Amino acid sequence: MKHLNDRVIIVEGLTDKKQLEKVIDDQVTIICTNGTFDVERFDELLESYQLDEKDVYILVDEDHSGMKLRKQLALELPHAEHIYVSSEYREVAATPERILAMLLLGKQIAVNPLYLV
């Protein structure tokens, strides 16, 4: 049985990570890919975070590079769940905290109630 802190969200950049950290009120590891997919670096992440044994969520921008990264990650982590930001906001960092909070709640990730108002 997995523990609640056995969850990982993969994002593109540091601004995405900071935006999520403001909203999340839960034990979740957030990994930045820095917008690129490098096989060696991914193998390191896979091993050091034991991604095959954890609940993984992919949350990337709705632009060309984000969709490309999502596709690559989906191939490597077929068990990962996807969280999509609206194409209206395009970027995770530009998505209002209230919207991110609702998306995360939909995946049973606790959020700061301040962002649910």
Delineate the domains of the chain, giving CATH numbers in brackets.
7-107 (3.40.1360.10)
For the segment 23-29, the average pLDDT, to the nearest whole number, is 96
Say what the alpha-carbon torsion angle 105, 13, 7, 49 is, to the nearest 10 degrees. 180
Structure tokens at 35: 């917008």
Residue 2: per-residue pLDDT? 46
Instruction: Determine how many CB atoms are found less than 10 A away from the CB of residue 5.
Output: 11
The structure's pTM equals 0.92
User: 4 pLDDT exceeds 60?
Assistant: no
> Tens of pLDDT along 37-73?
888 889 999 999 999 999 999 999 999 999 999 999 9
20 neighbors 101 (Cβ within 8 angstroms): no
